[in-house]
Structure 1
């Protein structure tokens, strides 16, 4: 078999392999050669099987839809109440929901007095106080270092250079 010069052998192999993968062509090895063929009856049979599968699936889905619609109708019928009990229960449910919303709103008002929130606020307050004391100590240490290492500066000159040191004091 002579291959035309513009056809690449690998392209032919790839096309044949894709047809085999799609079950459109059959293949078999006989000796050193690989033979490919496609029978019209096999193509017809595979399409017929696909149609049958889809038809069966559609029938199953139609049956499921009918069952679900019957259940929906049955539930609708069961909800119809002759003595008005369901309507009364629905009104009561709506009232309970409104009461619940009011309780949640009140709870948000009292959230500020929640013991856990107060505990958290007090812990944060202690941390802030400790930080304030630490920085006050640091400023006093800086003032002492300046006085020790710069003997020429008087206390008044230090306070003029760093006015924050004049009013510095520990808070309780």
Structure 2
């Protein structure tokens, strides 16, 4: 399996040894206000990662560490999960990009994750549920061309097809092209 690599960022599969890094991101109030609540300790995160690695080995989900390619500095996380209907649709979430990011880190990291789901895994669509009060991410998905499926009191639900992704990502193709030294 080919790991996603873009112009300045790369994704690698999370390992049990990443538990402390992930836990610090998940409990930081500046990053977690729109994510599901994390209870417990970094040891609990380590145990969750052990169980995740079993799901990963079965091809049921992929949890990535986002890092700067130039110095391997970890910047965040993003996860592909909730695989529906064989290769019909995947969910994307657990998307956190820390403050040490560049101007385009969030965009580059999500483009890499989408591209992995569509190109490497062969999915037809991606589904997202975004908290309504997460206005930046709701706006991002609207601007990307993702289709608004429905809303409830808490979330806005989007779908992105392969065709929509291709149209959207073509505008940012340089971010998906690794720099050759």
Fold match, TM over 0.5?
A: no
Q: Name the TM-score, length of structure 2 as normaliser.
A: 0.15
RCO greater where, 1 or 2, for CA within 8 Å and sep 6 or more? 2
Q: Which has the higher strand share?
A: 2
Q: Name the TM-score, length of structure 1 as normaliser.
A: 0.15
Q: Which has the higher helix share?
A: 1
Pair member with larger Rg: 1
